[in-house]
Amino acid sequence: MYRKALQHLLDWKTADTRKPLILRGARQVGKTYLVRQFGAEAFDHLVELNFERKPGLADLFASKNPTRILALLEAETGLPMIPGKTLVFLDEIQAAPRVIETFRYFYEERPDVHLVAASSLLEFTLEQPSFPVPVGRIEFMYLGPLDFDEFLMGTGRGHVLDYLEQFDFSEPVPESLHQKAMEAVREFMLIGGMPAAVAAYARTHDHKAVEGIKQAILQSFIQDFGKYAGRTDPNRMRKVFDRIPLLVGRRLKYAQIDREDSARNLAHSLRLLNQALVVVNVCHTSANGVPLCAEMNENLFKPLFLDVGLMSSACGLNLTDFAESKDVLQVNQGAISEQFVGQHLLYRQPCFMKPEVFFWSREHKDANAEVDYVISEGARILPVEVKAGKRGTLKSLQVFLVEKRSRHGIRINAAEPELHEASFALPGRTHERYRLLSLPLYFIPQVRRLTAHFD
């Protein structure tokens, strides 16, 4: 299955400054598959160890001597350890955290060895004060679900993606292609980007079978709660996990999860889901400069679920709900669209950067305003509004532009793409002009490329 992240791994292989790499992401987003694909395409041999299935394999790393470790790996697997031709893959590394300590020695003594690890719950290990993280001697890579571009490739519509990647506003998108792409968006919102679900849909187009796979994935996350033992009550974790998909796009108040439980306890359970990368908090930022995280308020946030397809299943939505909706942005009162856009903006940056996205709001006695998402491209800060229908008001975006003295904004809707000069007049202010990048949902993965047309 096509993954954009494969190119980062190929670049990592030949980089002069290469360090042992840890691939981070939620369960079942395709980390193991990606590394195996990388091994098959770029190496002669793949040495794969899974510490969750065989915890005893950690003993091979006890000496912390890279040369000794390589000899033991060769004896254990029967595969040759040839620099540049053998990839060492340590899966579920969180089950043997002390193995990570050896990465510093591989970096210092055997930089010729290509060493990759993968983990779903690594954050639980890294936060322990007694665990010595080899800072500066490892690098991280983040992987999320398939994005819409990858979904197109995975479902046999690479020709549509070829067109989208070449689009430059010089000509309008043909109406037939626009409708075809919007129909694919509708499919993606229901199926989502979890590799197993996409693969099943591409193979069978059986929505019932795909739904069964998604439900199994949701259950696997719940089963993982047992691994949080001692950190929180599993029943509380289940309660938070079940409620979050219903709260996407809304500022979270813990009473919305359980009025009888304390905010402190619920916040702790939510933090664990954040660490497992199943939920992401879209925090408020004042957005006065970059980086946006410098002015974020961690106590004011909107939750974002891992994947729009899983969210659809968790909310009880089915094919009929999407088929009967005249405007896909209005399904589930727009929360599905906000999830779709949010998960793409979250992973829009290079995969070696920690995923993050923010929102902005202003509370005023006469005029409140809230922008769905705020992103930065270079030094430019861009407000992003997700609007149902082909037009829709942009008052909050316009308030943001005035307050931040900005002249660029992004609207996501169901209309054909357009980059044009727009104007507005807020009460008590002179006429304002700005450039509006208006994009249909299917162009979300192309946001970084298309914002270059602002220049």
Are 345 and 257 members of one domain?
A: yes
Q: What is the pLDDT of residue 455?
A: 84
162 and 138 co-located in one domain: no
Question: Residue 363 — pLDDT band, cuts 50, 70, 90?
Answer: confident
What radius of gyration, in Å, describes the C-alpha atoms of the chain? 23
Asked whether the predicted pLDDT for residue 61 surpasses 60, the reply is yes
Say if residue 115 is in the same domain as residue 175: no
Q: Which of 185-194, 207-216, 328-337 shows the lowest mean pLDDT across its residues?
A: 328-337
* Domain end point (choices 87, 107, 142): 142
pTM: 0.94
Res. 86: pLDDT tops 60: yes
Q: What is the DSSP string of 340-378?
A: HHHHHHHT-S-TTSPP--EEEEE--SS--EEEEEEEEET
pLDDT tens-place string over residues 144-180: 999 999 999 999 999 999 999 999 999 999 999 999 9
Residue written as tokens 């989502």?
Answer: 192
Q: 160: which residues sit within 8 A by CB, 6+ positions away?
A: 152, 177, 180, 181, 184
How does DSSP classify residue 82? Answer: -
Q: Is residue 215 domain-shared with residue 82, that is, in the same domain?
A: no
Whether the predicted pLDDT of 429 surpasses 70 = no
pLDDT tier, 330 (very low <50, low <70, confident <90, very high otherwise): confident
* Per-residue pLDDT band at 229 (split at 50, 70, 90): low
**Residue 390 above 60 pLDDT?**
no
Instruction: Decide which of 109, 142, 175 is a domain's last residue.
Output: 142
Identify whether residues 82 and 227 lie together within a single domain: no
How much is the average pLDDT of 385-403? Answer: 84
pLDDT exceeds cutoff 70 at 135: yes
If asked whether residues 74 and 213 sit together in one domain, one would say: no
111 and 206 part of one domain = no
- Confidence at residue 234, expressed as pLDDT on a 0 to 100 scale: 87
Under 8 Å between Cβ of 368 and 251? no
Q: Could you tell me if 128 and 227 lie in one domain? A: no
The residue range of the domain holding 31 is 5-142
Region 254-269: what's the mean pLDDT?
95
Q: Are residues 99 and 150 in the same domain?
A: no
CATH number (domain holding residue 76): 3.40.50.300
State yes or no: pLDDT of 261 exceeds 60.
yes
Q: Which helix (H) or strand (E) is 201 found in, with range?
A: helix 195-204
Q: How many domains are there within the chain?
A: 2
Residue 446 is classified by DSSP as G
Higher pLDDT, 137 or 127: 137
Query: Does 227 lie in the same domain as 103?
Result: no
131 and 165 co-located in one domain: no
Q: How confident is the model over 189-215, as pLDDT tens digits?
A: 999 999 999 999 999 999 999 999 999
Is it the case that residue 408 has pLDDT exceeding 80? Answer: yes
Where is the domain boundary, 142, 159, 184? Answer: 142
pLDDT in the model for residue 391 = 58
Share of the chain above pLDDT 90, in %: 82
State the pLDDT confidence band at 120, using cuts at 50, 70 and 90. confident
> Distance (Å, rounded) from C-alpha 354 to C-alpha 346?
9
* Mean pLDDT of the region 17-28: 95
Q: Does the pLDDT value for residue 388 go beyond 80?
A: no
- Same domain for 324 and 291, yes or no, is yes
CA distances to 200, 252, 337, 417 from 413, rounded to whole Å, are: 29, 24, 9, 9
